[in-house]
Amino acid sequence: MKKNYRGGRIGEEIKRIISELLLRELKDPRFSSGMVSVTGVKAADDGTIATVYFTMLGSGVGGDVSAQEKEAILGAFASAKGLIRKEIGSRLGLRHTPDLRFQFDTSEDYGRHIESIIGTLKRTSSAEADASGDFPESDVLEDLVEVLRDAGIIYLFPHENMDGDTLGSSVALCLALRKLGKDCAVVIDEKIPNNIMFIENGCTAQMTELLTETPADISILVDVAEPERLSGRSAFFLQSAKTMCVDHHVSSKPIFDYNYIDTEASATSEIMYKLILALGVEIDASIAEAVYVGIVTDTGRFQYDNTSGKTHRIAADLLEKGVSPARVSDEIYHSRRIEKLYLEKVVLSTLRSVSGGKGVIAFLTQKMLVDTGALEEETEGIAEKLRSIRGVEVSAFVRETEDGRTKGSMRSRSFYDVAELAGIFGGGGHIRAAGFTTSKPLSEVIAELADVLEKTL
């Protein structure tokens, strides 16, 4: 009996701490968008594990919660778990903090909880009735310049599955800020793809190396606006005193302390070019090359319809600053390993056509990847290649990740909104290029994609 009492009391304490953290410390936007509340905590008698039950307000009728919304909150809890456990350990003075499991509360109390959450929401929205819209407006470049000038330590965060734009724009800004005397690093936790390694310029640092350093004055999401796309770095990002996002994706929301989202820009690197000039930093050959790589990769070598006259004018200036287009193209596109071609061979063997040839789907399993000896990053570009087939409007390339999830990249040619299609699986992106990661198995994703394309294409 005594043991049960102990487990129950610890559970109450943990519930109180997490509820408090949700209100103040946990800045992950997934938490606030879902109005998450902890309904109970069951701690095991031996103190090794505690299960945290939560409810949230979903976007469905009457606050119904979709599987995707649950998954997002579980992801947010997973990212914040280290921080939550540290707080519990220090506040309760525990020698061994229980491991935490998070579970959506499906008990009968659920309805009541949702009602109380809706009540809170109604009060909140009437109190903020004068607000002009759902989200604050994007800041102007001058606001960013001002806050960056005031900061001492600045960390830049490229998105996971690093591409030329996210790395190019991060490196370019990092080099520029260092010229202004800032303590600055591009925080990563994965290997840089070989073909864009040449623009790194000593800017990147593994997150693990920075954990003991002084926290940043400002952390910047680059080419992304969702902390969940930072994989293991989201909690570290959110710990920073101020947060900022510089991005060009249509699905991005200005939810950080500072936001600059220009959906007209062909690449985030194009925005960085403007920002660096606004900071008053001279663009040298290294900065120019990083920006150029971002633009070249995000415009598909100036071939996608996001390429504007402005894009070319910026590119022209970059060439005058010393960029060699032949060298860049050689590094990025003409240094393929034979394993990449083996990989393309097996992926092409899975190619199938849907919607009378207007859509194509191809896939890759982990086994196929391992068998070819190719690297995960060498799947880059396959979705574009599939779209090059005559008559194809939408191409989808779906692959299994090492941890059993499924990633999809989609491209469209002239009218279909693949960002919306990616949204079905909890992803997003641009109208002509989008992607997602889901916990659904590969076969299920393929079937669902084929079904949706048959109906909508």
Residue nearest to Mn ion (CB): 165
Ranges within 266-285 binding Mn ion (CB under 5 A): 268
**C-beta of 9: minimal distance to Mn ion in Å?**
50
Residue 76 or 225 with smaller CB distance to Mn ion: 225
Q: Whole-number minimum distance, CB 268 to Mn ion, in Å? A: 5
Of the pair 268, 372, the CB lying nearest Mn ion is at 268
**Which residues, at least 6 apart from 409, have a Cβ–Cβ distance to it below 8 Å?**
382, 383, 396, 397, 433, 434, 435
Residue 378 contacts Mn ion per CB under 5 A: no
Task: Answer for the pair 101, 42: CB distance below 8 angstroms, yes or no.
Answer: no
Q: Which 230-269 residues touch Mn ion, going by CB under 5 A? A: 268
Contact 198, 132 (CB under 8 A): no
Q: Stretches 15-23, 61-69, 218-226, 301-309: which one binds Mn ion (CB under 5 A)?
A: 218-226
Give the Å distances, CA to CA, from 425 to 97, 261, 422: 35, 23, 5
Does 160 interact with Mn ion (rule: CB under 5 A)?
no
Maximum alpha-carbon separation in the chain:
78
Binding-site member from 28, 105, 160, 165 for Mn ion (CB under 5 A): 165
Segment contacting Mn ion by CB under 5 A, of 55-63, 220-228, 328-336, 429-437: 220-228
Min separation Cβ 60 and Mn ion, Å: 31
Q: Spell 126-143 as b/e; 16+ CB within 10 A means b.
A: eeeeeeeeeeeebbebee
Q: What whole-number distance in Å separates Cα of residue 269 and Cα of residue 296?
A: 10
**Minimum Å distance from CB 186 to Mn ion?**
15
Give, in degrees to the nearest 5, the angle at Cα 391 between 294 and 432.
30
Which span (77-85, 138-146, 189-197, 217-225) binds Mn ion, by CB under 5 A? 217-225
> Residues 379-387: contacts with CB within 8 Å, 24+ apart?
379/343, 379/347, 380/163, 380/193, 382/344, 382/347, 382/409, 383/409, 383/410, 383/411, 383/433, 384/300, 384/411, 385/344, 386/351, 386/360, 386/362, 386/411, 387/360, 387/411, 387/412, 387/413
Q: How far is the CB of 212 from Mn ion (least distance, A)?
A: 32
Given 87, 228, 289, 298, the residue binding Mn ion (CB under 5 A): 298
Nearer to Mn ion among residue 84 and residue 433 (C-beta): 433
Residue entry with tokens 């778990």 = 81
Minimum Å distance from CB 286 to Mn ion? 20
When the beta carbons of 288 and 295 are compared against Mn ion, the nearer one is: 295
How many residues interact with Mn ion (rule CB under 5 A)?
4
The dihedrals phi and psi of 229, each to the nearest 5 degrees, come to: -85, 15
Give the 3-state secondary structure of residue 448.
Answer: helix
CB of 111 to Mn ion, least distance (A): 43
Candidate segments 20-28, 196-204, 296-304, 305-313, binder of Mn ion by CB under 5 A:
296-304
The answer to the question of residue 226 lying near Mn ion (CB under 5 A) is no
Which of 438, 436, 437 has its CA nearest to residue 421? 436
Total Cβ atoms within 10 A of residue 111: 12
Least distance (Å) from Mn ion to the CB of residue 191?
20
- To Mn ion, the closest distance from the beta carbon of 294 in angstroms equals 7
Question: Which amino acid, 113?
Answer: H
Q: Does 380 bind Mn ion (CB under 5 A)?
A: no
Q: Counting contacts by CB under 5 A, is residue 223 touching Mn ion?
A: yes
Pairing status of strand 406-412 against strand 433-438: antiparallel
Q: Which is nearer to Mn ion, 265 or 446 (CB)?
A: 265
Binding site for Mn ion (CB under 5 A): 165, 223, 268, 298
